[in-house]
Structure 1
Amino acid sequence: MTDVVVYAATSGGVCAAVAAARAGASVVLLEPGRHVGGMTSGGLGYTDIGDVRVVGGMAGDLRRAIADWYGVAEGHYAGPEPHVAEAIYLRWLEEAGVDVRFGAALTAADADGGVIRSVELADGSPVTGAVFVDASYEGDLLAAAGVPHALGREDRSLYGERYAGRQELVPGRHTVPPWISPFAGDVSGAAGGEVLPQLHDRPLADVGTGDGGVMSYGYRVCLSQAADRVPFERRDGYDDAYWELGRRIFDQWRRDGVEVRAGQLLGLEKNLPNDKCDGNSIGPFSLSVLDGSAWAYPEAGPAERERIRLHHVHHARDFLYFLSHDPAVPASVREEMQAWGYAADEFADTGHLPHQLYVREARRMLGEYVLTEHDLLPAARPQHDVVAMGSYHIDVREVQRTWRWVAEHPRPVGMVFTEGYLSVPVQPYPIPYRALVPRYADCTNLLVPVCLSASHVAFASVRMEVQYQMLGHAAGLAAVEAARTVRPVQSIDVSRVQDALRDAGQVLAL
C-alpha cells in the first residue's frame, strides 16, 4: 500500500507529492490530464504574490529555480513561461521519485467509517493508500469521500462577514458602461425581448444574500509578438451573434468618447521572459465567461464539465479573433491585437490555448476550522497551528454579467451590469493546519490544500498559486506524519510539521 496518494498535479499537488517523497514516503500522484502544474504551467505565468516576505518553503524554491533557469536575480521576472514551470515541476517529481500517473481521472472513493481505503479511476483500477491528499481545483476527492463542502457565495449572516453574498451593482472598470441594452432585438432596452448571449439571465439575489455563485472562469493566454507567432483565426463554429454585446459596449464607449486599447482588456504587456505576455481578464469584456456557466461546473459530471470547458475554450479563441477582426471593434484595437498571436512554443498539444481551465473557485471543504473574513480583517487572528501565511488581497473576480430594469422616464429601461468584483487589501495572516483537514467525524486520512476550509470571501485571498504551493508543501509533510504514526490527520503532532516546514524555509510568522 502506498503511504501517500495525491490527487491532481496542480501546484499544490506537485508540492505535496514532492514534499512527501523527500520525507521518505512512497507517493503516487494521480493526474486526470496530461500535464503537471495546474495554472502555474497552464497560462498563469504572471505570479500573484502579495507580500513577498511570506513566500517561503517550496514556493520560495520555485522562485529560485525560475531565477536559476533564466540566469537572473530572484524576482527579476513576474513569473516563468508556462513550459518552464512545467519542466521545473517534472524535474522535481523525477528527482523525488514520485510515481506520476497521467490520465488518472477519479470516479469513486471507497470510504468506510471516515477512512478512505482506495480511490477508483476511470479505467476501473483502484489505488490504495494510507493517507490521501486532494489537490484538485474542484475538490473531487473530498466530495467522493463524502466530506461536507460549501459552494459559492454564502449569506452575510452565516459568518457575519461584511463582504459576503451578492454584491452591490457599482461602477468601476470591471462593469459595463450604462445604457447597454440586454435585449437581442432592442438596442434601446425599453421593449424587452430575448436576452443577448453572454448574460446570466436569472433574478438577482438581494445584496448580501448567498446565491451559490462562484467566481467566473476563463483561460489565461500566452501571447507573443515574435515572427513565428500563431495568428488569431476564425474558428469553425464561430458565432457572430455571440459577440453582439461586445459591439454594443464598443459603440457606447465611442458615444461616451472613451478611447479603449486592447491592452486594457487583456493586459497586453511583455510581462514574461522572452517577450511573452500572460493575457489576463481585465475590464468588463474579457476572457472571463460571465454567463453563469461556471456556477454549474463544480458539481457537474464529466460530460457536462467537458461541455462547459469547451464553451470557455471557444469563448477565449473567439474573443481574440473578435478583437482582432470584427469591424465594430475600433481600428486601433484591431491593429494592436493583430501585432500579437499565440506563442508558438507554448501549449502546442492543445492548439496553443492552455491545458488548464482557470477554475478560480469550486468546492470548499467544511473542515475543522473555517477560515473567514474575520481571520484576515481588520487585523490577522493568530493561529497556534499555522502552516503557511497568506497575504494577497481579497480578490473576488466577477461572478456574473446580468441585467435589470432601471427606473427611467417615461418607463423602465433594461441595462446590463457586471456583478461580484471585490478587492480588499489585507495584512499577512496565518493559515491554520485545521483548515486543511476535515472534521474528525467526516474523514481521518484526508488533507485538502487547495479546496481548503474557508468562506468564499477568505478563499478569494488564499486562492493564489503561491499559497497552494506552500499549503501543498505543508499537506505533504502532514500526510507523511500521519502515515508514519498511523494517526488521524487531526491528531498528528503539528509542531513536528511546523519544525520541518521552518527547516525548509517556510515562513510561519513575520
Structure 2
Amino acid sequence: MHSPQPGFLHEPIRETPIWGEYDVVVLGGGPAGIAAAASAARGGCTTLLIERYGFLGGMGTAAGVTNFCGLHANVHGTLRQVVHGVADDLLARMDGLGGLSEPHVMFGGKIAAQAYDNAALKVAADGLVLDSGAQLLFHATLVGVQMDGPRTVRAAFIETRSGRHAVLARTFIDCSGDGDLAALAGAPFEKGTSGQDMMYPSTMFRINGVDAAAAGDAYNHFGRLMEEAEKRGRRFPRKTPIIRPQKNPTEWRANVTQLANADGGPVDGTDAAQLSDAEVQGRRQIVDFFQFLREAAPGFQNAYILEIAPQVGIRETRRVIGDYQLTEHDVLQCASFEDSIGVNGWMIEEHVAGNIAFRWQDIPGSRGFNHLPYRMLLSRGMDNLLVAGRCASMTHLGQSAARVSGGCFVMGQAAGTAAALAAKVKLPPRDLPVQTLQRQLEADGAYLGRDVA
C-alpha cells in the first residue's frame, strides 16, 4: 500500500470567489440528498445540491447497487411499502421510463426489495430535483469549510472544473455518506465499534447474456454451488452471495465481493490509499467470481460482464453523533419515538469478515419497523447542520439497518423539510417544534408509522 510522503507544503492565502448564497445547501446526491434538496426547494428555499459525480443516485448508481432496500417492511406478516413521499415521486418517474422492476421477495418471504436500471434512476433524479426548483452542481468536491463561531457553518469550499469556490448558506445538510462536511466543521463522529472495525465494502457488477430460462431460480442456489466449489479448493472472499435478475431477465446484478486490507480488516472509505487499493482488489475478485459463474451456474455459460461499478460500494465510514443515536435494540425491538420522521423496515445487516450477519425483528410477530427520530439528524453541538443518510447519528449496528436507501429517503425528506420550515420562522432546525415538521411530512405524503403498534 502506498504511504504518502510525510511533511507539509505551505499554500499561500487566496481570495476565493463565491459561487452563490442559498437558504439550503445539500452535499451529496444519493437518496438522502435527492430527497433533502427536493423537499427544501418545495418548501420555498433557494437550494443547491452539490454532487462530486456527473449524476445523482449515490451508491445506487456510482457503486452499482441497482436495488432499493428498505422501502418495504414485514408488518405482522404482510409485506408492504412503508417509505413514501418523495420516494413515491422518484419511483413513479423511474417506472414511467420503464426502468423499475416490481418488488421481489427475499430471505424466504421475510422482506422485499426493488431492482431498477441505473439509467432510469439517473434521469428520474435529475427531473425530480430540478422540477422541485433546486439547483444542481455536478463535478464539485467539498474541500473545506469556514465557520462563523464553533456552532455555525458559514461557507463550504468546493473544487470544480471552474476552480475553487465558496458556497454560503443559512443551513447545510450533509448527505455525503462519509460525513465530510460535518467532520470538516468539527462535529463529533464515530467509525465502526472501536474506531476501526467498520463494515466491509464491496464492488458491485452486472452480468448480461444470461439464459434466463436455464438460470431459473439460480439465486436460491449460488450458496450451494459455492460450497461445492470450495470443497474442490476454490476460495471466495465472502459467503452469502446476492445475485439477482434485473428488469431485463438476461441481466443480473452481483453483490459477492468483500474488500479488506492486508491485515484482514475492512477498507476505510475515507482513506485515499486504502480506497485506491480496494478498487483494484474489487475488480480482481469480480473476474475470479465471474469465471466461477460461467463454469458452475446454469444459464451463465455464455454470459459476459456488462459493467463494473464506477466505484467501490461503501457501507460505513463516519457516523456523525447527533442528539440521539439509533441502536441495534431500536431496530430489533421496533422502537417508537415521539419525534418520528418516518420508519426503517430493514433488518440488521452487518458485513463482517467473510460473511454477512443478519439479525431480524420478530417476524411475523411484530410490526417489522422502527421509527426514525428527528434527533438523529441533528448534529451535536451544531446549530445549522443537519445530517441525513448513512452518516446520520446511529450506532454501528443501528446503521447496518437504516443505512439502506429506504431509510435514506426518509431522513433526507425530513432534513430538507425541517430546513425549510425552520427558515420560515427564523429558528435553528433544533428549535423547530417537531409537531410542525411531522404535520408537513404527512401532508407531503410521508409515512411516519404512528398507526401500527
Shorter-chain TM-score above 0.5: yes
| Alignment partner of 1:14 is 2:14 | no
**Number of the residue aligned with 1:499:** 439
Per the TM alignment, residue 508 of structure 1 is displaced from its structure 2 partner at its CA by 0.6
Give the superposition deviation at 1:358.
1.1
**Distance of aligned partners of 1:114 and 1:10 in 2 relative to their CA distance in 1, 3 Å threshold:** same
Task: State the number of aligned residues.
Answer: 387
Equivalent residue number for residue 123 of structure 2: 87
CA spacing shift, 1:475–1:273, aligned 2, 3 Å: farther
Offset at residue 78 of structure 1 (A):
2.5
1:278 is paired with a residue whose SS is strand
Q: What is the match of residue 465 of structure 1?
A: 405
Residue from 185, 193, 199 that aligns with 1:215: 199
Provide Cα deviations, 1:387-444, integer angstroms capped at 9, x if missing partner.
Answer: 010010000012x3xxxxxxxxxxxxxxxxx37x3211122110000000012xx210
The residue number in structure 1 matching 2:430 is 490
Letter in 1 for 2:59: M
Structure 1 length as normaliser, TM-score? Answer: 0.69
Query: In the alignment, what sits opposite 1:132?
Result: 172
The residue number in structure 1 matching 2:218 is none
Asked if 2 retains the 8 angstrom alpha-carbon contact of 1:67 and 1:74, the reply is: no
Q: 1:422 aligns with which of 352, 357, 366?
A: 357
Correspondence for 2:142 among 106, 130, 138: 106
Equivalent AA in structure 1 for residue 348 of structure 2: I
> Which of 449, 472, 496 is equivalent to 2:388?
449
Find the aligned partners of 1:372 and 1:437 in 2 and give their Cα distance: 16
Identity of aligned residues (%): 23
Q: Which residue of 1 aligns with 2:217?
A: none
Residues of 2 paired with 1:143 and 1:294: CA distance? Answer: 23
Displacement, 1:336? 6.2
* Paired residues for 1:353-502 under 5 Å: 353-377=308-332, 379-398=333-352, 400=353, 418=354, 421-426=356-361, 427-439=368-380, 442-450=381-389, 451-502=391-442
Deviations 1:45-75 (A, max 9, x none): 1222341332211223333333333298864
Aligned to 1:28: 48
Give 1:274-289 correspondences, 5 Å limit. Answer: 275-281=250-256, 287-289=257-259
Structure 1 271/324 Cα, relative in aligned 2: closer, same or farther at 3 Å?
closer
1:200-239 correspondence to structure 2 within 5 Å = 210=194, 212-225=196-209
TM-aligned CA distance change 1:293 to 1:18, over 3 Å:
farther
Cα pair 2:98 2:120 within 8 Å, conserved: no
**1:56, 1:330 → 2: CA distance?**
37
Which sits farther off after the overlay, 329-338 or 481-490?
329-338
Give the Cα separation in 1 of the matches to 2:331 and 2:157.
38
User: What are the ranges of 5 or more consecutive residues in structure 1 without an aligned counterpart?
Assistant: 154-209, 228-247, 282-286, 344-351, 401-417
Q: Alignment partner of 1:310: what SS?
A: helix
CA contact (8 A) 1:293 1:308 kept: no
Kept in 2, the 8 Å contact 1:118–1:128? The answer is yes
Hey, what does 1:311 align to over in structure 2? 277
**Equivalent residue for 2:84?**
56
Moved over 6 A (4+): 248-251
Moved more, 94-103 or 471-480: 94-103
**Amino acid in the other structure paired with 2:203:** Y
- Give, in whole Å, the separation in 2 of the partners of 1:71 and 1:85: 8
SS at match of 1:369: coil
Query: Conserved in 2, the CA contact under 8 Å of 1:324 and 1:333?
Result: no
Q: How high is the TM-score relative to the length of structure 2?
A: 0.78
Query: How many angstroms does 1:483 deviate by?
Result: 2.0
Is the contact made by 1:323 and 1:337 (CA closer than 8 Å) also made in structure 2?
no
The verdict on how the C-alpha distance between 1:54 and 1:134 changes in structure 2, with shifts beyond 3 A counting, is same
Which one is further off, 352-361 or 78-87? 352-361
Tell me if structure 2 keeps the 8 A contact 1:6–1:132: yes
Give the 5 Å matches for 1:158-197.
none
Give the drift of 1:330.
9.1
Aligned mates of 2:171, 2:374 — CA distance in 1: 16
The whole-number CA distance in structure 1 between the counterparts of 2:251 and 2:342 is: 31
CA contact (8 A) 2:116 2:246 kept: no
The alpha-carbon distance between structure 1 residues 264 and 437, as it changes in their structure 2 partners (threshold 3 A), is closer
| Deviation (angstroms), 1:146 | 0.4
C-alpha distance in structure 1 between counterparts of 2:317 and 2:325, whole Å: 16
- The verdict on how the C-alpha distance between 1:252 and 1:359 changes in structure 2, with shifts beyond 3 A counting, is closer
C-alpha separation in 2, matches of 1:73 and 1:279: 16
Alpha-carbon shift at residue 332 of structure 1 (Å): 2.6
Name the aligned partner's letter for residue 438 of structure 1.
Answer: S
**Residue 232 of structure 2, aligned match among 254, 277, 294:** 254
> 2:304 aligned with 1:341, yes or no?
yes
Deviation of 1:126 (Å): 0.5
CA contact (8 A) 1:16 1:475 kept: yes
Taking the aligned partners of 2:327 and 2:240, their CA distance within structure 1 comes to 31
More displaced 10-residue stretch of structure 1: 41-50 or 23-32? 41-50
Aligned equivalents of 2:97, 2:443: Cα separation in 1: 24
Structure 2: unaligned runs, 5 residues or longer: 1-20, 74-79, 105-112, 212-225, 362-367
- Contact 1:18 1:476 survives alignment (8 Å): yes
Contact kept in structure 2, 1:323 and 1:333, CA below 8 Å: no
Instruction: For 2:205, give the aligned amino acid.
Output: V
The 3 A distance-change label for structure 1 pair 367 and 313 is: same
Q: CA RMSD in A?
A: 3.0
Does the CA contact (< 8 Å) of 1:63 and 1:75 recur in 2?
no
State the alpha-carbon separation in 2 of the partners of residues 456 and 61 from structure 1. 31
